[in-house]
Structure 1
Amino acid sequence: MDAYFNELSCFPLCESKECAKERAYKFASLLSETKKQGFNVVRCHDRGMAEILLCQDYSIADFCNENLRGIKEMLLLSMLHPPYFEPDSEEEKTYIENTFSVSVTNDLNQEERKPAYGLSAVCLYNSIGQNLCSCDFWEQSKEYVIYDVDDSGKEKEHKVLSFSNPEDYKTLEYKQWQAKTQPCNFCDCGLEKTKKQCKLSSDHHGNDVLKKFAKESLFILPYIESVVTSLAYTPDSKTFVKKLHYDTGRIEIVLTWTEKGYGMVVQTTARNDIELIQIGNELEKRFGNGN
């Protein structure tokens, strides 16, 4: 899979070569983790790494030519490539026309709308962006809103991920992206629906409704093991999935179509955080529109 360099993160440029080298080595550390995550190529706008400026008249390519000594320099040389689109594809047409933009805020809190090429490719291919650590806006955020104009002239918003630090791959945002882009492969709990337990608080007035829903709608799902307990009323809940418990593989759900917001906790077969997010997404798709 390819990741895409966010060319807007080149700015502001470094004021010295020393600062430029530090920025390049930080970027190489990011690429090292990016490669571990399965992204072997980072596509760059136009002419590739020769276009990635570190300071005035000094690019990543210049840096590598001067400092080719070790693994980090080789990472920069081997992973950074010009963009590639299937000839005459819709993605190529959209990229060339480039109707995408992003509102960039600098360290002086000044906001400016700028054309976005790398982030547009991230959106088109549902991938991940790569940032230089040039300012707080690019270094601290993980998720960005980019804007696109459709054929009718209407502006649409898209959320994309673009990372600056290796630690960004440990964030919930990245796990949620993985959950959306990876195929679902849930474990079957191996229990017949009549054998699954439904434990609810004895003093909960919505028990009959919860039990009926569990037996008729939840227990037919192979990745639901049991109902663990009921929840306090949540009448203002807007979503079926209320909360994910990553440490136990449990999910809090709320029957949003009930007046008092009856809810319960279900045990899933999720083996990791990504599977738990995927199961939560599946439940929301099935039951999130009021059953």
Structure 2
Amino acid sequence: MTVAPVRRFMNVLALRPGSGGSLLGLGLVADQTFRPICIVEERAYAVATLIKNMESGYLSEVPVWDQIETFNSIPWSQQVDFIIGTFVDRGLEDTTLLESVAGIFKQLQPERALFEMRSEVLKQRESFIRICSQFQSMDFQVEIEEISARELGFTHGRRRLFMALTRNPQGKPVANPRTQRLERSVRNGENHEENEGREGSRQSTDSQQDLGRIEGIIQRFPHPPPPRDSEAWTEVLESTPHLSASLPKQADGQFRGVANGFSNRLDRLWILGGDSVPVMWKVAYETLFSRKLL
């Protein structure tokens, strides 16, 4: 007799999910059930699309808060297992946004999180180190994976960086000196052995593996290509479509945003170019969390 695996509900807080691609992607994961309980989205057209998808039955009906910086997380204390975030057009390099997200983590104490970001954030070394350091100082293990929609069979590139955060099961705080060593190690390419007695919150090899992964991905990204290198710029624009022109020249007129009679045209283009691909979120979760149960 075959016994079906136990499916545990995981309560989800979604930060800036756009039209809901990340939430739809989690619904594709076979061995885990996700239950959204709240959404934080500040872009008006995205909120309208989310509500439409809720009314159509594609997404669960949940409260929608309008801004991360003002989000009141007290009512959701001890209720959130998993935080997801899409930081493509506005990244965590924004220190105000990063501090606000960190504040939500401190109040809600989730067990894990998954963020989608532009791959180009790795070129901003200081910002990327600051992001990793912020969450490592809160006792999260950081893993990153680059995923391209084209590699999954789609016709567009849409290369994205996914960052997975997993809370240390031993629950001991990570001291600030670790954050300083993380910055020095990534900046200088060092790989020193750590004293396990001083850093009892996790195994000494964990941080070295994380740093090796981060440094390896950083080295894969060259400096910005020359202006006339069309092939290189095509690859860059596939991962950052917001850098390309929003409207073709023939549609660029006095009434921007309503070309060809479509209302909210620029917002629709934003969703097409910058929103999440559900299958990418499914693959990211299964790759980074390896189907491990909490």
More strand by share: 1
TM-score scaled by length of structure 2: 0.30
TM-score scaled by length of structure 1: 0.31
Q: Flag the structure with larger Rg.
A: 1
Higher relative contact order (CA 8 A, sep 6+): 2
